Chain A
Amino acid sequence: MDKEERQVVVPGEMIAKGSEFLPGEGAYRDGMEVVAGRLGIVNISEKHIRVIPVSGAYYPRRGNTIIGTIVDITFNGWLIDFGGAQNAFLSVAEVPRYVNKNELREYLDFGDSVVVKVWDVKARGIDASMKMRGFGKIEGGMIVSVNPNKVPRIIGKEGSMVKIIKSATKCDITVGQNGKVWIAGNSIEEELATKKIIEFIVENATINGLTEKVEKYIKGLGMKVDKIEIVAENTDGESGGENDGE
């Protein structure tokens, strides 16, 4: 029996039968059948079948925004630990200004936190870049760790959830797809309130009508929520390569 869109499948479970289907990420072909190669949700577009992760460790994808710390400095760049299987490499050529190779530490030192973009994912490792707007060294604020699988809920549809939190707390929020959230506000109180809201979202990530619940929760904390017109388009938060670092 064929599986339907958005159904949870277990490794080894048949998703569809027929040679017209094409197994994508998280799926493989076995004879006439397309079979799940990991635990996740079925996504079928045309005849292309993918299994989207719902749990487990974070696997970087091209274009993701990640937040990590500098753990090593090589002769031509930095190594960033972001909680993945391997460290990401940030080359001197991928930072927004000229850095002398002898003075790498002056620009980014061990233990510094950075917001970077995943530029390339290879089996050998991940290349990161910092050249675009909104990326760079983290100064001030706090970093909150959450389950990477809940990140799409924090971002919301087209970044709607982030906008709500921002407008209520007046804090800058940068969400890394690796489950790190950077909060930068004017006062500690505001930052802590933001942290509370984010933790609330993560705890209630699976319930319906999350936006309304969050708005209520924010009001309960004694803050105002601006009405934000939400683009009524049914996009999965999963696709959100959202960066709100400005």
Chain B
Amino acid sequence: MEKAEEKMMASKKSESKTESLYTKRTDGRGFEELRPLKAKVGIVPSADGSAMFETGGTRAIAVVRGPRTLHPQHMQNPETGILRVNYGMMPFSVWERIRPGPSRRSEEISKVSEWALSSVIDLSGFPNTVVDVFIQIPQADAGTRVAGLNAAAMALAHAGIPMKEMISAIACGKMDRTLVVDVNKDEEDFEEGEGATDMPMAFTSRTKSLALLQLDGKISPEELKKAIEMGKKACEKILEVQVKALKEATGGKDE
């Protein structure tokens, strides 16, 4: 009896070694296929820069104000301007109401977005000032921090902030043993087999270096490398959409 059970377990294990339990994506996409992308620049006329970025059911808007004098004065840096990112989900962005105001999660995302964006912008020409980036999520279906980053990069460019390059971000995932790109909420909640692993990552547009990499779950080093390659490829497509939106907004004809 015990032996039989062991045998069954073993066979199941060997089976899962060869085949993942996640064979088809819940929304019928290919494993490396992105959700439909949409981007628009200049959605808030009174701001210095603004942009909207949408992947499937996730939408992010970003507004940039500044550079402007930083108060309180003791936070000013006489060497360079500073960047301040504020991320927040709107109360109605998901089915259950989200309590407005800062939370552990939103503070974390604000901070990592700030670090990612700081790597490409140069505020040394504006000492004692601050550039404020506000990211709001009116509608969420996973991948809000990467959508927010995509919108923020466009908004910063639109605000005319000196930038070395652009930033594009994507969330890769691993459902059981299958690597996918652009995870949605259903997939994020996948529980069978090894469960779901979520990897938000951001790439710079020119040097293609990582500006953000987070990981929530379990993954082997080989799989992680593969996921990063997949993310890099997906970011190329996102960059195209970002560049197109920026050029359209500034009345430029593209090539």
Contacts and interface: CB of A to CB of B under 8 A. Distances in A.
B20 interface: no
A26 B125 CA distance: 12
B148 interface: no
Contacts of B125: 123
B62 interface: no
Interface in B38-93: 42, 45, 48-49, 66-69, 81
A12 B246 CA distance: 13
Interface string A1-43: 0000001101111000000000000101010000101111100
B129 A86 contact: yes
Interface residues of B, number: 39
Contact of B67 (A12, A41, A57): A57
Contacts of A40: 160, 250
Contact of A85 (B66, B122, B162): B66
Contact of B48 (A12, A30, A56): A56
A14 B48 CA distance: 25
Interface string B93-116: 000000000000000000000000
Main secondary structure of the interface of B (DSSP, over half): loop
B36 interface: no
A11 B163 contact: yes
Contacts of B126: 85-86, 123
B163 to A, nearest CB: 4
A10 B162 contact: no
A202 B44 CA distance: 16
A244 B164 CA distance: 38
B221 interface: no
Nearest to B70: A85
B246 A37 contact: no
Contacts of B42: 55
A206 interface: yes
Contacts, number: 98
A97 interface: no
A12 B49 contact: no
Contacts of A54: 250-252
B67 A85 contact: yes
Main secondary structure of the interface of A (DSSP, over half): loop
A40 B158 CA distance: 9
B243 A55 contact: no
A39 B69 contact: no
B32 interface: no
Interface residues on A, range: 20 to 34
A7 B158 CA distance: 16
B159 A56 contact: yes
A133 interface: no
A35 to B, nearest CB: 7
B251 A10 contact: no
Interface in A116-171: 123-124, 147
Most buried by A among B42, B81, B206: B206
B206 A35 contact: yes
B205 A12 contact: yes
A12 B69 contact: no
B166 interface: yes
Contacts of B166: 10-12
Contacts of A87: 69
A37 B253 CA distance: 19
10 contacts: A10-B205, A11-B163, A12-B120, A12-B166, A13-B243, A54-B250, A54-B252, A57-B67, A85-B66, A86-B129
Given A55-B250, A85-B69, A206-B251, 14 more contacts: A8-B246, A8-B247, A8-B252, A10-B247, A11-B205, A37-B122, A38-B162, A38-B163, A40-B250, A55-B159, A55-B249, A57-B48, A87-B69, A123-B127
Interface of B: 42, 45, 48-49, 66-69, 81, 120, 122, 125-129, 157-166, 204-206, 242-243, 246-247, 249-254
